[in-house]
Amino acid sequence: MVVDLILGDRWPWAVPTGLCSISVTSLCSDHRYPPPGISLSPEEHVEIGTNVTIRCWNNISGVAFFLHKDGHSAPIQRQKLSAGSTATFTLFGVTPADSGTYRCSYRIRGCWTSGKSDPVELVVTGEVPRPSLSLHPSQGVSLGDNVTLRCHLPRMAAWVQLWLNGTLRFNKEKDKEQDTAEFSFAVTNLEDAGTYQCRYQVSEPLRTSKKSDPVELVISPSPGNMWEWGLISPHSAGMGVVVAHSSCIEMNVRPISFARIPLVGHSHLHPLRGGLWPLLAPACNPTTPQTTNLCPHPP
């Protein structure tokens, strides 16, 4: 049996045993070689499940880098570079046990090593990181269009949920090899509009993330769904607007502009909804015999 030991001393060691031979490798510190630089990303406080990257660098190409954690007698990771002068160490899905102080060093040739770098401190908190949510397309959505909401996950998840206005809408099992969950659907009614958020669950142990920041799905009116939205026309010159029943609008009336009018509630003619409403050319002339009985008066 051959056992390789890394010792911080200038001299090789010979350890005789009656049962096996032990080959001892001694690393000899030489302070003529400056300690490497070190960085931590994300910095300091991170949540459980986050992937953490520690980078170590110097100005010498093709060396071997060592990652040290305080409390461990030997390096916890090692990386030999064939070219370049920066090593990248990754801690996958960190837990509170990964909290601590990290440093790095490098070996030049033979047994000669640098001093250790300045320390970086990693603190792992108890919550799983929040996801983020994006909407595609992000604007110009009309009834009948297809939309996709992508939930971007900072770590592997078992289940992903999509929420609309605080109510769970979709709950899907997640492919653990992907870092994005997609929810695609056709916008079939105005109730599809609103505020969407996503969140995810991880197992071992089971934990649920906080919801993502919200994204807003706004449905715009189009010529094909004007009757669904309702029409607004001037009742008379100098007066406000009233809701007009579709039977009141002559076939030759065309929208001349759009205005955003915040309306809520219902009338006896049509449910009122906020959004873009068409402003029409004068719709019904009460003095015209064929339309007199079709023009409702404001209550």
Q: What separation in angstroms does the CA of 238 have from each of 9, 235, 280?
A: 95, 9, 15
Q: What is the pLDDT of residue 225?
A: 54
Q: What is the pLDDT of residue 212?
A: 95
In CATH, the architecture of 132-217 is: Sandwich (2.60)
Q: pLDDT for 58-67, tens place per residue?
A: 988 889 999 9
Q: Are 200 and 131 in contact (CB under 8 A)?
A: yes
Q: CATH 2.60.40.10 spans which residues of the chain?
A: 36-125, 132-217
Fill in the DSSP letter of residue 266. B
Q: What is the pLDDT of residue 163?
A: 96
Strand duo 24-29 + 5-8: pairing: parallel
Q: pLDDT for 217-273, tens place per residue?
A: 999 886 655 555 554 444 433 333 333 333 333 333 334 334 444 444 443 334 434
Q: What is the pLDDT of residue 223?
A: 60
Two tokens, residue 113: 């090593």
Q: What is the pLDDT of residue 29?
A: 58
- Residue for token pair 């406000």: 240
CA 156, CA 50: separation in Å to the nearest integer? Answer: 10
Q: What is the pLDDT of residue 38?
A: 96
Q: What is the pLDDT of residue 247?
A: 37
CA 87, CA 54: separation in Å to the nearest integer? Answer: 8
Two tokens, residue 285: 């002339």
Q: Which residue from 185, 177, 213 is spatially nearest to 198, judged by alpha carbons? A: 213
Q: Are 127 and 211 in contact (CB under 8 A)?
A: no
223-236: b (≥16 Cβ within 10 Å) or e: eeebeebbbbbbbe
CA 131, CA 209: separation in Å to the nearest integer? Answer: 8
**What is the distance in angstroms between the CA of the first residue and the CA of the last residue of the chain?**
98
Q: Are 259 and 276 in contact (CB under 8 A)?
A: yes
Pick the CATH number of 36-125 from 3.20.20.140, 2.60.40.10, 3.30.420.40, 3.40.50.620: 2.60.40.10
74-109: b (≥16 Cβ within 10 Å) or e: ebebebeeeeebebebebeebeeebebebbbbbbbe
Q: Would you write out the chain's pLDDT as a tens digit for each of its 299 residues? A: 333 334 333 333 343 444 434 344 445 655 668 899 999 998 867 878 889 999 999 988 889 999 999 999 899 999 998 888 899 999 998 888 899 999 999 998 767 788 899 999 998 877 778 899 999 998 889 999 999 999 999 877 889 999 999 999 999 988 767 789 999 999 999 999 999 999 998 876 677 888 999 999 999 886 655 555 554 444 433 333 333 333 333 333 334 334 444 444 443 334 434 444 444 434 444 444 443 334 444 44
pTM summary value: 0.41
CA 25, CA 47: separation in Å to the nearest integer? Answer: 38
**What phi, psi does 39 have (nearest 5°)?**
-140, 155
Q: What is the pLDDT of residue 7?
A: 39
Q: What is the pLDDT of residue 8?
A: 39
